[in-house]
Chains A and B, each alone.
Chain A
Amino acid sequence: MSNKILEIKGLKAEVDGKAILKGLDLAVEAGEVHAIMGPNGSGKSTLTHVLAGREGYVVSGGKVLYKGADLLELETEERAREGVFLAFQYPVEIPGVNNVYLLKAALNAQRKHRGEAELDAIEFLSLVRDKMKLMQMDESFLNRAVNEGFSGGEKKRNEILQMSVLQPTLALLDETDSGLDIDALKIVANGINSLRREDRAIVLVTHYQRLLDYIEPDFVHVLSNGRIVKSGDKSLANELEARGYDWLAEEAVSA
């Protein structure tokens, strides 16, 4: 019995008729942290949205198994309830909707799906307060509208707070380090590190190596022109930092 959380084989996807993913393979096991790096436009964000099930992202080939079952046939919200979480690069603002209200509705939708009792307001609050301490967020966050007027750093912290409450099996983090100053980066990285677990897989999508100074990945993959062109351990990230991405693209073309 393999411990695979995610198995992607020959995945092809297009957006607005344009091919973005062109035969991508990736396997992620429980307990692992994978970093996916690559130049802008290589398809990193597309990969996360295809996995999360965003409308308009059309899969034109290949397959994706999540815990051994076909992920692509599930609706967006079904994937979420099954434990797939995406920390957004640009978390959206929802005016008039309390942050805490969305989070409670999300948690209870997932609990209901698992056949667990929904949490009442008091149980939920005590849970979320614990998690907020970890992310160094103050109480006022709860009653502010979802992401409205949040700074870039606050939005990203809020994403990780949601992750810590929802406890996903597969966490996809899309450029979670972008737009963070060094202090916020440390808080976010601490939060993510505290969420590493034996039964959870984390896929970090990042343009820069910087985040990997704080979160040590088990594997590093380079995505270029819709394919994984190189995989390795953490040292690959350092090499990329030193040499950039161009040499890989050339390598891929000549191969």
Chain B
Amino acid sequence: MASTQKELQRVVDRKYEHGFVTDIESDTLPPGLDENVIRAISARKDEPEYLLEWRLKAYRHWLTMTEPHWAHSNYPPIDYSAISYFSAPKSPDDAPKSLDEVDPKLLETYEKLGIPLHERARLAGVAVDAVFDSVSVATTFKKKLSEAGVIFCPFSEAARDYPELVQQYLGSVVPYTDNFYAALNSAVFTDGSFVFIPKGTRCPMELSTYFRINAANTGQFERTLIIAEEGSEVSYLEGCTAPMRDENQLHAAVVELVALDNARIKYSTVQNWYPGDAEGRGGIYNFVTKRGDCRGNNSRISWTQVETGSAITWKYPSCILRGDNSVGEFYSVAVTNNLQQADTGTKMIHIGRNTRSTIVSKGISAGRGQNAYRGLVKILPGAEGARNYTQCDSLLMGDACGAHTFPYVEVGNPSAIVEHEATTSRIGEDQLYYCRQRGLSEEDAVNMIVNGFCKDVFKELPMEFAVEAQNLLGVTLEGAVG
């Protein structure tokens, strides 16, 4: 039964990804950004007028903004006029015909991650039609969702088919004025997911999608909007453990979550974009704005993230705890190896009464990696009885890496209770020795110790993701000790 469920999910992933492809049939736009480019994107996506207007307003606002540089990271200036803002995916004719044509190194990594055979082909970009052919299964899945009244579709489809919902909620959590990258995303986003769970509905299955960056030198601007109506519940998985190679690319996604009264949203991410090589060449710049709005009373939003990829990560999945008794959670594992830099954390904004938030952050630094936790806990004056618990642990491997913690706490209500615990430790030579004396290889020992360190976060991940995530850490940290 469980495996059928998984199969279903995989087929839908494929179909969904396929959806991107069929939506985007035109060629790559030349590099550069102006209003004409935005009009062209909108036209090619066959968008309604309201969305074009919104994009243009965002673009004009973006022009007045400057790139933020407060994050704990260093990188050369980004030339926004050198980026192509729209590209067609690679033609299937260029794709490898079978796994025999795929880089053996990549296949070796898939093997270590324990990714099922048929998925490897898809991830490696093998022309998918041959991989799996069960349209009827996908139809069953879609039928099941629509019977439940759940909408799960590409964003551009939602913009056409559900204009009232999109207009009501788009930008209501992350307005285009929010920050530099959010404004840029609002102007040029190419696609993403739209999810709507109607009142009182528990989404009958985990929703997942594998995002992909299709062509070199093309910024990737995803836009995801999830709305959970009163008393509904949904779990959404984003990302993929398998590494995907690409040259320096700007990835500036926006994710907005809205939870109404008594609704629950669980959003899990595994991010493993290409981190660059050992010398820091190449790699994705991952500048993401993710925010959830606990708009209703007793609502709950949980973010779980495992961030192992990208050259630079700038990401703060946050919760606005507006409804009384609402709950926000953030569970994070962030790994930096070689020259990777991560500045990640969360914001918990307590507005409603008796709102509660939990933050568990596990940072692992290896090689010359730099890992910063940056978190804001803000208790507004009206948030009577608000509570926050923050636990922030760093693990260092080797002596050339760095771990940094930047906690910001603003308490405006005397009844609030805010707790912050932080530890920094080095992976112990004595722990490794102990494990090796019992017969484990050094690699297995590191893996075991690091996974133990991350346990509190991994247990929040959906089952099938948790195992892959554990393997992923091992692969990411290969050669980090010794």
**Interface residue B455 (Cβ < 8 Å from any Cβ of A):** yes
**Interface residue A133 (Cβ < 8 Å from any Cβ of B):** no
Chain B residue numbers with a CB within 8 Å of A59 are: none
A77 pairs with B440, CB closer than 8 A: yes
Chain B residue numbers with a CB within 8 Å of A52 are: 437
Min CB gap B439→A, angstroms: 4
Alpha-carbon distance A55/B445, docked complex (angstroms):
15
**Interface residue A178 (Cβ < 8 Å from any Cβ of B):** no
Most buried by A among B429, B439, B456: B439
B434 pairs with A77, CB closer than 8 A: no
User: B433 touches which one: A76, A81, A145, A166 (CB < 8 A)?
Assistant: A76
User: B439 touches which one: A81, A97, A145 (CB < 8 A)?
Assistant: A81
Alpha-carbon distance A97/B436, docked complex (angstroms):
15
Alpha-carbon distance A81/B435, docked complex (angstroms):
12
Min CB gap A124→B, angstroms: 14
**Interface residue A61 (Cβ < 8 Å from any Cβ of B):** no
B441 pairs with A77, CB closer than 8 A: yes
B436 pairs with A101, CB closer than 8 A: no
B439 pairs with A96, CB closer than 8 A: no
User: A54 touches which one: B433, B435, B441, B455 (CB < 8 A)?
Assistant: B433
User: B455 touches which one: A96, A109, A166 (CB < 8 A)?
Assistant: A96
Chain B residue numbers with a CB within 8 Å of A166 are: 438-439
Chain B residue numbers with a CB within 8 Å of A97 are: 448-449, 451-452
**Interface residue A15 (Cβ < 8 Å from any Cβ of B):** no
Most buried by A among B430, B438, B449: B438
Chain B residue at minimum C-beta to C-beta distance from A145: B452
A109 pairs with B439, CB closer than 8 A: yes
* B contact patch SS: helix
Chain A residue numbers with a CB within 8 Å of B452 are: 94-97, 145-146
**With A92-B428, A96-B455, A96-B456: A86-B448 Cβ-Cβ less than 8 Å:** no
B453 pairs with A102, CB closer than 8 A: no
Min CB gap A37→B, angstroms: 23
Alpha-carbon distance A79/B441, docked complex (angstroms):
11
User: B437 touches which one: A76, A94, A105 (CB < 8 A)?
Assistant: A76
A106 pairs with B440, CB closer than 8 A: yes
Chain A residue numbers with a CB within 8 Å of B451 are: 96-97
Chain B residue at minimum C-beta to C-beta distance from A105: B440
Alpha-carbon distance A88/B431, docked complex (angstroms):
12
Min CB gap B362→A, angstroms: 10
Chain A, 99-115, CB within 8 A of any chain B CB: 101-103, 105-107, 109-110, 113
**Interface residue A225 (Cβ < 8 Å from any Cβ of B):** no
Chain B residue at minimum C-beta to C-beta distance from A54: B433
Binary per-residue interface labels of chain A (22-59) against chain B in the complex, 1 for a CB within 8 Å, 0 otherwise: 00000000000000000000000000000011110000
**Interface residue B442 (Cβ < 8 Å from any Cβ of A):** yes
Most buried by A among B430, B433, B437, B440: B437
B456 pairs with A77, CB closer than 8 A: no
B439 pairs with A95, CB closer than 8 A: no
A77 pairs with B439, CB closer than 8 A: yes
Chain B residue numbers with a CB within 8 Å of A102 are: 435, 438, 448
Chain A residue numbers with a CB within 8 Å of B437 are: 52-53, 76-77, 79-80, 85-86, 88
**With A54-B433, A55-B429, A88-B434: A94-B448 Cβ-Cβ less than 8 Å:** yes
**Interface residue A169 (Cβ < 8 Å from any Cβ of B):** no
Chain B residue numbers with a CB within 8 Å of A110 are: 439
Binary per-residue interface labels of chain B (437-476) against chain A in the complex, 1 for a CB within 8 Å, 0 otherwise: 1111110100011011111100000000000000000000
Alpha-carbon distance A136/B202, docked complex (angstroms):
47
Min CB gap B431→A, angstroms: 5
**With A55-B429, A92-B428, A109-B441: A80-B448 Cβ-Cβ less than 8 Å:** no
**Interface residue A10 (Cβ < 8 Å from any Cβ of B):** no
A91 pairs with B441, CB closer than 8 A: no
Alpha-carbon distance A105/B441, docked complex (angstroms):
10
**Interface residue A162 (Cβ < 8 Å from any Cβ of B):** yes
Min CB gap B67→A, angstroms: 38
**With A92-B428, A96-B451, A96-B456: A109-B434 Cβ-Cβ less than 8 Å:** no
Chain B residue numbers with a CB within 8 Å of A95 are: 452-453
**With A54-B433, A102-B448: A80-B439 Cβ-Cβ less than 8 Å:** yes
Chain A residue numbers with a CB within 8 Å of B440 are: 77, 105-106, 109
Min CB gap A165→B, angstroms: 10
A92 pairs with B430, CB closer than 8 A: yes
Q: Which 3 residue pairs across A and B have the least CB separation, nearest first? A: A96-B452, A97-B452, A106-B438
Given contacts A97-B452, A109-B441, 6 further A-B contacts (CB under 8 A): A77-B442, A91-B434, A92-B430, A92-B434, A94-B435, A105-B448
Residues of A within 8 A of B (CB): 52-55, 75-77, 79-81, 85-86, 88, 91-92, 94-97, 101-103, 105-107, 109-110, 113, 145-146, 162, 166
Task: Sample 11 A-B pairs with CB under 8 A, ordered by A number.
Answer: A77-B436, A77-B440, A80-B436, A86-B437, A91-B434, A92-B428, A92-B434, A95-B452, A101-B448, A102-B438, A113-B439
